[in-house]
Amino acid sequence: MICNAPCKAGSSFVLLLAGICPSVFAVDAGAEPASRLQETVVVTANREPGRWYDAAAAVDVVAVSEQIPGFRFDSAELLAGLPGVQADSRANFAQDTRITLRGFGARSAFGVRGINLRIDGVPLTMPDGQSQTSSIALGAIDRVEVLRGPMASLYGNAAGGTIAFYSARPEESELTATLAGGDAEQRRYQLQGQWAGERAGARVLLSQFSTDGFREHSSAERNQLAGQWYYQTESEVDLLARVDISRDPETLDPQGLTYDQWQEDETQVHPVATIFDPRKSIEHAQTSLGARQQTAWGGWQASGWVGEREIEQYLSFPGDDENGSGAVIDLHREFSGANLRLARQLATLELAAGVELAQMRDQRQGFVNAQGELGELKRDEVGEVQSRDVYTSLQWQPSARWSWQAGARYNSVRFDVADNYIQGTNPDDSGSLRFSEPSLSLGGSYGEGPWRLFASLGSGFETPTLTEMAYRNEGTGLNTDLQPSRNRQAEFGWRIEAQTLNASIVSFVVHSQDELVVDQSSGGRTTYRNGADTEREGLEGQLSWQLASQWHWRLGGTLMRAEYSAGPYAGLRLPGVARENLYSQVDWQARSIPLQLSLATQYRGDVASSDDNSEIVPGALTWDLAARSQRAWGATLVSLWAKLNNVTDKKYVGSVIVNQSRGRTIEPAPGRQLDVGVEVSYRW
């Protein structure tokens, strides 16, 4: 067993606190509350606006302006410090950020699984449960909200919870140009224009990011266009239209390293990367329109979306077996959906009901990878997924102290695959599956003054995705052995919202049956299975404290035990899930000059890379230091920032590839890097 963690969790937590202790004693009792402590509005997917403080659920919100500055290319930058979230930057832009929520999503070989992602109320998650964050223009995001636990089960096919990204309606007309650069030849160019009218507003963002990567064969480029149009009618119907276009022309994949290779030289690539030239190109486009209205009798909201996604990916093996599926993926996806929710307000009672319909169609072909060149056709099929969900909720607030919430959702998901490649010994692998699952939740909160207690319990489910069903270890065709996993959850928490402080602490327990886990992963192809039962229990906390007029401290953390509870791995840890995730950020604002300094400290505990826990990848304590300043000359505002990542040049693992069959489990993190940026805005 490999277990070379540099420090235990306890000592790491002491070091983490040491980074912020000098500022703790700088408390100014007369300090004014910071703007970040103003009332936060939660507008999650199927709810009208409501204060997070009253929710009978674990909800956390962070404004992007609270995070330390950076390129805003990796979604982990926006998720830092949110409790329950483990966002692992792979430093491999061909595979997207690895996001887990209370341990769900750890099985993901690429993209996001087990977590419902939304942007401005519109799903980014496909009807089968798969998501990608690479299509989000992060430069246009204003805040991020995370909903976890039993109440999150009402958002559909996701066991972990919901992460919602929101843009802000323009308040003034402005043109902004951004230029940023850094080590590994990282470059970002961005131009954003917005217009604010009496009833309407609009924003258009153009962005390009490119890097050579800190490893060989890891260069990447991403071009994005995002547009939003806001309008409020005279009858106070709010409309929001979005257009999101993203293009990654060629992103190289350096592949994972073995533990010994990582120890020897973390900047190297595995030799298969030079033989098969693994890489990926993506084109993504999505448009959506949403509307909502709140009246004395209640409210309604509706949305519709349509999009397409094209992927060409070269994996790091030939895929030329007699009944193989190839190792070059050519995928064209079309997707669409609609959501309608109606709510009726009756004194202290709100009744709501809704329906969400979504569908996707994948045309997938597989070719032989002839050492980096396109070979013969080995797979040709069309896969379709349809989801039909109905849901209802009840919210009752009999007094200012008490609030009760209950909800139910019925989910129906159908998979159909038509095989168009039937040759020789390769059989007809057409088939279909249908899953129908209910989700239930019940919660309540109690409190007075600045504090609140809350508790909830419920049940949910998660289906395998079409991509996860695409391969078998033996044989061809759809992996029809995969079944949905089911979970039961409970949580209890306390939160406080005072003049200069908001904080919360939540304990939770989750029992899952037939958890979806990685079976084998090799060369970029991953197969899955239903694992044995699992258990998760843990503690989450967050704090946002205006210590003094110049000092602010933000703290977020999760301590969690996630293990198999039955089967051959009973008592062993779930791979890819850290027991400890701790984050601290101290901000200091100078009095006489426009300068803010930030020190961010993060500790992620060690993780198992496989079901049998034969390899334990060490955890790491890292430090980031940032400075930002801005100066106005009339209508022109100039902002500067600089960020020193990994100040101590710590050698650590950014992410792991779960159950990698050839031992290439390590995705290294970069060493010390300096990034700088300048932003010039003109307002009128």
Give me the residue label for tokens 């505002």.
637
* Cα atoms in the 13 Å half-sphere on the side-chain side of 62: 24
Mean pLDDT of 339-359: 95
> Could you tell me how far CA 383 lies from the centroid of its own chain?
25
Residues 6 or more apart in contact with residue 74 via CB below 8 angstroms: 89, 97
Find the Cα–Cα–Cα–Cα dihedral 628, 629, 635, 636, rounded to 10°: -70
482 pLDDT band, cuts 50/70/90, is: confident
- The per-residue pLDDT for range 578-632, each reduced to its tens digit, is 999 999 999 999 999 999 999 999 999 999 999 899 999 999 999 999 999 999 9
Indicate whether 445 pLDDT > 60: yes
- Partners of 630 in the β-ladder: 639
Say which residue, 21 or 648, is predicted with more confidence: 648
Dihedral (Cα; 553, 38, 626, 679), 10-degree rounding: 180
pLDDT, position 463 = 87
What pTM does this model have? Answer: 0.90
Question: What are the strands, taking DSSP E only, across 373-531?
Answer: 373-396, 402-419, 431-446, 451-462, 485-497, 501-513, 516-522, 525-530
| Residue 22: pLDDT over 50 | no
* Distance from C-alpha of 454 to C-alpha of 75, rounded to nearest angstrom: 29
Question: 572-598 in b/e burial notation, b at 16+ Cβ within 10 A?
Answer: bbbbbbbbbbbbbbbbbbeeeeeebeb
Q: In this predicted model, what pLDDT tens digit does every residue of 32-50 receive, in sequence order?
A: 333 333 333 333 433 443 4
**pLDDT band with cut points at 50, 70 and 90 for residue 110:** confident
DSSP 3-state of 364 = strand
What are the φ and ψ backbone dihedral angles of 552, each rounded to 5 degrees? -135, 140
Q: Which of 246, 222, 220 is nearest to 309 (CA)?
A: 246
The label of the residue with tokens 């979806």 reads: 516
- Confidence at residue 679, expressed as pLDDT on a 0 to 100 scale: 97
Average pLDDT over residues 669-681: 97
SS3 content of the chain, % helix, strand, coil (to 5): 5, 55, 35
pLDDT-derived band at 16, boundaries 50, 70, 90: very low
The string of pLDDT tens digits covering residues 520-565 is 776 556 788 887 899 999 999 999 999 999 999 999 999 999 999 9
H/E run at residue 22? helix 21-24
Q: What are phi and psi of 121, to 5 degrees?
A: 85, -5
For the four alpha carbons of 78, 81, 85 and 91, in that order, the dihedral sign comes to positive
Number of domains the chain contains? 1
Q: Where are the beta strands (DSSP E) in 463-573?
A: 485-497, 501-513, 516-522, 525-530, 534-546, 551-564
Q: What is the pLDDT of residues 273-283, one digit of tens each?
A: 999 999 999 99
Q: How confident is the model at residue 156 (pLDDT cuts 50, 70, 90)?
A: confident
Instruction: Grade residue 477 by pLDDT with cuts at 50, 70 and 90.
Output: low
pLDDT at 51: 54
> Is there a contact between 250 and 279 (Cβ–Cβ < 8 Å)?
yes
Q: What is the CATH number of the domain that holds 444?
A: 2.40.170.20
217-239 per-position pLDDT tens digit:
999 999 999 999 999 999 999 99
Task: Residue 625: count other Cβ atoms within 10 Å of its Cβ.
Answer: 15
Q: Are 277 and 371 in contact (CB under 8 A)?
A: yes
Q: Which two tokens stand for residue 393?
A: 């909720």
Tokens of 546: 């205006």
- The pLDDT assigned to 405 comes to 94
Q: Which residue range(s) make up the domain with 90?
A: 2-683
Query: Which of the four pLDDT bands, split at 50, 70 and 90, describes residue 468?
Result: confident
